[in-house]
Structure 1
Amino acid sequence: MHLRFTEEELGTLVEMVSLAAEVASWNERPGAEEGISAYEALENKVLEKAKHAGLGEHIDFDEEKQRHHLTTEYQEGSFFQQCYDEFRNESFWEEIVIRLADRDLARVVGMQAWQKMSEEDRRAQTRDIEKRYWDEFAKHGIDRVAVIFPPAEG
């Protein structure tokens, strides 16, 4: 198969495969190594071709890993890095809100009842709690979050 790209399209493709490989690299589930390797191999192949097609100033080769990668300077200003950072930020806040709301709900209804609830039921019952956490984090970030250790631990 042969594909032809403009320089702009090739730049977009380079960013897309780099974003996909970066996200895949965070997968620590058992058995994920094969999928991660496939993403990294495709990224390497695309970056190698792009390097020879005019994007060489944005691509380096890591001798130790024997792989091509985007330069740090290019990544810092790239759209894919903006997407990646935004995804991580939004995922963090959403996850912390849901986990705290679920913890609060489990304390009220009991762990057994909480475990029997569907995700939809949990979200329906924690809507107000989640809103309260969203409001808190929007105003104060994590500044007012504290970990309280049990007396025996600290």
Structure 2
Amino acid sequence: MHLRFTEEELGTLVEMVSLAAEVASWNERPGSEEGVGAYEALEEKVLEKAKHAGHGTHISFDEEKQRHHLTPEYQDGSFYQQCYDEFRNEVFWEELVIRLADRDLAKAIGMQAWQNLTEEQRRSRTQDLEKRYWEEFSKNGIERVAVIFPPGEG
């Protein structure tokens, strides 16, 4: 199979495979090694071809790891990095909101009752709590978040 790309399309492809490989690299589930390796191998192949096709200023070779990668200078201003940063930011806030709302629900109904609920039931019962946390974090970030240690631990 042969594909032809314009210079712009090749640049987009380079960013896409690098973004996918970066996200995949966070997968630490048992058995994920093969999938992560496939992403990294495809990234390596695309980056190597792109380097020889004129994108060499954006791609460097790590002798120690024996792999190509996008240069930090290129990553800093890239759309790929903006997407990755935005993804991480959104996941952080969503996970924080959901976990705090779940914690509050479990406290209110008891851990056993909470464990007996499906994910859908939990989300429907925590909608108001999640909304309240979203409003708080949208307005104040983590400025008003505090950890209260049990006596003797803080």
TM-score by length of 2: 0.97
* Distance apart, 1:152 and its partner CA: 3.0
Match of 1:90 in 2: 90
User: Which amino acid in 2 is paired with 1:59?
Assistant: I
Match of 2:107 in 1: 107
* Distance apart, 1:38 and its partner CA: 1.3
Unaligned runs of 5+ in 2: none
Aligned residues: 154
Match of 1:128 in 2: 128
SS at match of 2:145: coil
- Moved segments of 4+, more than 4 Å: none
Unaligned runs of 5+ in 1: none
SS at match of 2:56: helix
SS at match of 1:64: coil
- Distance in 2, matches of 1:120 and 1:3, equals 43
CA offset digits 1:9-58 (Å, max 9, x no partner): 10010000000000011111122222211111110110000001111110
SS at match of 2:69: strand
Compute the RMSD of aligned alpha carbons.
0.8
- Distance in 1, matches of 2:19 and 2:81, equals 7
> Are 1:51 and 2:77 an aligned pair?
no
SS at match of 1:30: coil
CA offset digits 1:73-110 (Å, max 9, x no partner): 11111111111100000000000000000000000011
The structure that is helix-richer by fraction is 1
